Structure 1
Amino acid sequence: MSLLDRAAALDAADPLASYRDRFLPAPSVVSYLDGNSLGRPLAATADLMDDFVRDQWGGRLIQGWTDGWLEWPLTLGDRLGAIALGAAPGQTVVADSTTVLLYKLARAAVDARPGRRKVVLDTDNFPTDRYVLEGIAAERGLALHWIETDPVTGIEPAQVAEAVDADTALVLFSHVAYRSGWLADVPEINRIAHEAGALTLWDLCHSAGSVPIALDEWGVDLAVGCSYKYLNGGPGAPAFAYLRHSLQDSLRQPIQGWMGHRASFEMGPGYEAATGIRALLSGTPPILAMVPAHANLDMLAAAGIEAVRAKSLLLTGFVLELADEWLVPLGVEVVSPRSAERRGGHVTLRRPGFEQLLEPLWAAGVIPDYRRPDGLRIGPAPLSTSFTEVYQGLAVLRDLVEKHQ
């Protein structure tokens, strides 16, 4: 069987194939391989946005706040928690950006461990995570303990065990490493951190909507993530935060705004935090930007995260198969886990000079993701990507690499 025939056979056997029809077409795109950076829009999202602008916003105007808008951060958070995060109600909120929520949770966490001066993180985590913790360390007089991680893999439990001690307040890692796609062992790292008395904060940006997550079962303390990748929320879509029930009375986030007040519309003197997860809110919720979440969560609930994960592993496995057959002989290196147990939703390929191939790739309708200094991330979103699309995209990449040898 040729690789093209294999792609066709995988498409024919794909139980999620019909979901591709739910997305708006992009006529100039032959192969979209960047779902791990920005998901494609649903046709239902366009309909919902039009209805919201014309009927809800345009028709109800300010009365919409009493129609339920004010509760969206919590109701959508609960839906997201149930469908994608393994979180019981009352622990997830949709608000702000990933950066702002990271700051809120990390500041609250270190303040909840007074006397502990150490924060543990890794050198290859996403820049925002590192930058936010650098700022908090400067604000609070903390010391950052950097774990050197192999960019080809990611954080290992043994490394965490060597780093944490009785002085550690917080550890922060990504569930799926943004560069390599390494899938961290969250339960084991949590166990190690908790034995030392530290809190754990997980970045779920590259796993939410692609990889099954069980925050409650794994004993996660805090987590954040974005909704514009595998959750298809659109550019700049609001992020989400998770704070487990047992910590909600003791952690206080530092950005005190009116929406996190116990009685927002009393507008009285002095700040009194709301109870529960609502206390993570600060300003007015980004209601218009939340509209796509309704359609996206409906779709993910119908498909099921386990089925999404099964297809994701087949897609990335096919990427590895094509890379080994076509690209490795041309000097391209696979710098992502080959083990399905440790592989997230994308595969990174590395070769000097890849940046020069971006323009011709885009001109040919092939859109991967590039990460300096020389990595191409291939991120096929399971609900919007076919195996034939992966074949077509990597075939163009192969031809360009051959041409630029």
Structure 2
Amino acid sequence: MSDDLNMTDALRTRAEELDAADPLAKRRELFALDDGVVYLDGNSLGALARHVPARMADVIAREWGELRIRSWDESGWWTAPERIGDRIAPLVGAAPGQVVVGDSTSVNVFKALVGAVRLVDDAARDEILVDATTFPTDGYIAESAARMTGRRIVPVEPGDVPSAVGPRTAAALVNHVDYRTGRLHDLPGITAAVQGAGALAVWDLCHSAGALPVGLDAHGVDLAVGCTYKYLNGGPGSPAYLYVAERHQARFDSPLPGWNSHADPFAMTSGYAAADGVLRGRVGTPDILSMLALESALDVWDGVDLADVRAKSLALTDFFLECVAAYVPSGALRSLTPAAHAERGSQAALACTEAPAVMRELIARGVVGDLRRPDVLRFGFTPLYVGFADAERAARELSRVYGEVTRAA
């Protein structure tokens, strides 16, 4: 028993030291977090930034309530999709003018994948490679995109994409980080392999943007999509974004040509003429309330170095897994998260036969992660507001809950 207490004291002391040295520690104060709760589900829904409610009160009461329709011009509502896109751009390693915000991730996957096939414009390239481990909606959308463009879907493990691409490949759709395991896939290498075969690379950044440097421009990515309600903390259902590399914009042919992407939207002509640049990714009237909540939430990133975010993310997940190994009996849980930093996103995934009961009890005790059925416990580490003491407490509670649940089973 004394050895267990000494180990716990040592890990708690280390957590305090790591938190004291953390350059991002003060960012936690920007978020509305409950005392006594460890929130490790920011990879599903990011925490609320404290200043957002006041901003939204002004949007609703003044911009909508008083200015009303004048706000499309006077409050900048009309230009919000590209303006907010330019704020997201540095977080994904893109220059201005290549990211537009609007619609859901699913809608943007459809735009990007159909647009990629149309950019390739080669009937002999009749295959679309799709990440076989992808988040389900990406697969559903890809199937629809394939039917629309006369292609067929070829499911491929992300690591096998470089050997699977060939003269029949039009495009490849890959997730940057696996949503279940937290595995980080090789964006530079896969992109180069896809393009080397004459195809285009489309990336889903939902589980990487805001957690680690992405480098879209540096790695020559063709198209990318991502959500904003996870690590970017935009709020439930906040609009997603679409990245179209500048070199592709003049030929990007969206399958959803709405009036907002028209070269002259208010001409109200019956014929469609696409706008210049990334505005081609717009569709219909943007969801202003959720879009402006996102814009306000992005303020928490002002002055943040993504290198610090990545360093803390890796340190947090390392420390959490170390604490789990120290507290939980050997062999009780199986880590699905890669040990190698180059292969890890910003979450820890643990396989456990009693996962539903364990997560349910963890949440009841104030450690909020989530479950991926049937047996995966997911813990998301959002570097802007999760600390090392959180990681230690989560592992300690996990050990207690696991013991209680398995004894009761």
> TM class by shorter-chain length?
over 0.9
Work out the percentage of aligned pairs sharing the same amino acid: 41
Offset of 1:46 from its aligned partner? Answer: 1.4
Contact 1:328 1:334 in 2 (8 A): no
Quick one: distance in 2 between partners of 1:402 and 1:133? 43
Quick one: distance in 1 between partners of 2:217 and 2:280? 20
SS of 1:215's equivalent in the other structure is coil
Q: 2:325 is aligned with what amino acid?
A: D
TM-score by length of 1: 0.95
Contact 1:312 1:382 in 2 (8 A): yes
SS of 1:377's equivalent in the other structure is strand
Quick one: distance in 2 between partners of 1:107 and 1:99? 12
Counterpart pick for 2:95 among 88, 103, 106: 88
Q: Which residue of 1 aligns with 2:71?
A: 64
Quick one: distance in 1 between partners of 2:164 and 2:256? 30
Offset of 1:122 from its aligned partner? Answer: 2.2
Counterpart pick for 1:124 among 133, 137, 160: 133
Residues 257-268 of structure 1: matches in 2 within 5 Å? Answer: 257-268=258-269
Q: Which residue of 2 aligns with 1:319?
A: 320
Find out whether 1:101 has 2:102 as its counterpart. Answer: no
Quick one: distance in 2 between partners of 1:190 and 1:341? 16
TM-score by length of 2: 0.94
Q: Which residue of 1 aligns with 2:4?
A: none
SS of 1:202's equivalent in the other structure is strand
Quick one: distance in 2 between partners of 1:392 and 1:58? 45
Quick one: distance in 2 between partners of 1:249 and 1:73? 19
Q: 1:41 is aligned with what amino acid?
A: L
Offset of 1:298 from its aligned partner? Answer: 2.2
Structure 2: stretches of 5+ with no match in the other structure:
1-8
Offset of 1:358 from its aligned partner? Answer: 2.6
Offset of 1:330 from its aligned partner? Answer: 5.2
Q: Which residue of 1 aligns with 2:3?
A: none
Quick one: distance in 2 between partners of 1:327 and 1:100? 42
User: 133-142 vs 317-326, which deviates more?
Assistant: 133-142
Residues 3-52 of structure 1 show CA distances to partners (whole Å, capped at 9, x for unaligned) of 1111111111111111111111325x521111111100011111211121
Q: Which residue of 2 aligns with 1:36?
A: 43
Quick one: distance in 1 between partners of 2:354 and 2:84? 43
Residues 212-251 of structure 1: matches in 2 within 5 Å? Answer: 212-251=213-252
Residues 245-289 of structure 1 show CA distances to partners (whole Å, capped at 9, x for unaligned) of 111111201112110111111111111111111111110011110
Evaluate the alpha carbon distance shift between residue 267 and residue 183 of structure 1 in structure 2; reply closer, same or farther with a 3 A threshold: same
Contact 2:222 2:248 in 1 (8 A): yes
Offset of 1:383 from its aligned partner? Answer: 0.8
Evaluate the alpha carbon distance shift between residue 160 and residue 366 of structure 1 in structure 2; reply closer, same or farther with a 3 A threshold: same
SS of 1:358's equivalent in the other structure is helix
Residues 35-184 of structure 1: matches in 2 within 5 Å? Answer: 35-67=42-74, 68-82=76-90, 84-113=91-120, 114-115=122-123, 116-147=125-156, 149=157, 155-156=158-159, 159-184=160-185
Residues 321-344 of structure 1 show CA distances to partners (whole Å, capped at 9, x for unaligned) of 112212351510011111112111
Q: 1:71 is aligned with what amino acid?
A: T
Offset of 1:202 from its aligned partner? Answer: 0.2
Quick one: distance in 2 between partners of 1:74 and 1:203? 19
Quick one: distance in 1 between partners of 2:305 and 2:63? 30
Quick one: distance in 2 between partners of 1:239 and 1:288? 14
Quick one: distance in 2 between partners of 1:367 and 1:109? 39
Q: How many residues align?
A: 395
Evaluate the alpha carbon distance shift between residue 304 and residue 295 of structure 1 in structure 2; reply closer, same or farther with a 3 A threshold: farther
SS of 1:135's equivalent in the other structure is helix
Q: Which residue of 2 aligns with 1:3?
A: 11
Offset of 1:131 from its aligned partner? Answer: 1.0
Quick one: distance in 1 between partners of 2:300 and 2:363? 29
Q: Name the Cα RMSD after superposition.
A: 1.4
Quick one: distance in 2 between partners of 1:186 and 1:348? 21
Quick one: distance in 2 between partners of 1:264 and 1:56? 22
Q: Which residue of 2 aligns with 1:152?
A: none
Contact 1:30 1:392 in 2 (8 A): no
Q: Which residue of 1 aligns with 2:21?
A: 13
User: 358-367 vs 293-302, which deviates more?
Assistant: 293-302
SS of 2:129's equivalent in the other structure is strand
Quick one: distance in 2 between partners of 1:328 and 1:45? 43
Quick one: distance in 2 between partners of 1:117 and 1:278? 28
Quick one: distance in 1 between partners of 2:305 and 2:403? 40
Contact 2:357 2:405 in 1 (8 A): no
Q: 1:42 is aligned with what amino acid?
A: A
Structure 1: stretches of 5+ with no match in the other structure:
150-154
Quick one: distance in 1 between partners of 2:295 and 2:131? 34
Offset of 1:309 from its aligned partner? Answer: 1.2
SS of 1:69's equivalent in the other structure is coil
